Amino acid sequence: MKNTLLNFFPHLNSKIQLIFFAAFLFNTTLVAQTKHITIYLEGCSHCENLIGNTYTDKEVATKLNEFERSMYEYESNEGLLFARTLEINSAPAQIFIRDKDTILITGYLDKENELKLLADPFLFHAELNKASPN
């Protein structure tokens, strides 16, 4: 049996409930705007490109400011909580939470694709899943 927070807190019977619990633990509000969480790994070239190049682009930075944002190193307590809960096996990872919906996008995105993602993360995710039904 895998050790997850669901084992330690059995009343949390779904990943969505666990995300809300984690947000409570780490003092993140879950009302109003869409939340954007980045999970990165120290020394990861894709993470460094996403954070150092894509996120610093003026257009991308402007769109990012429309979200309530957090960034966690993969091996931090918060990063591990999200990684284990959402079964994140690669970095970088971007998590979007809106109301009770959560999506996960992993891997490096260039400016063009990041802007498409930030325009509507849930539509981008749906289109990504259509293109790659795995």
pLDDT at 16 (0 to 100): 56
**The residue type at 85:** T
C-alpha to C-alpha distance for 14 and 95, rounded to whole angstroms: 17
C-alpha to C-alpha distance for 119 and 105, rounded to whole angstroms: 14
**Stretch 120-129: mean pLDDT:** 90
Q: Provide the domain count of the chain.
A: 1
Closest CA to 56 of 45, 64, 66: 64
Quick: pLDDT tens for 69-96.
Answer: 999 999 998 899 888 888 999 999 999 9
pLDDT at 53 (0 to 100): 94
Concatenate the DSSP letters of all residues of 3-28 into one string.
--HHHH-TT--SHHHHHHHHHHHTT-
Question: Which two structure tokens, joined as six digits, stand for 132?
Answer: 């790659």
For 123, the domain range is 5-131
Quick: pLDDT tens for 90-113.
Answer: 999 999 998 888 999 999 999 999
**pLDDT confidence band for 22 (50 / 70 / 90):** low
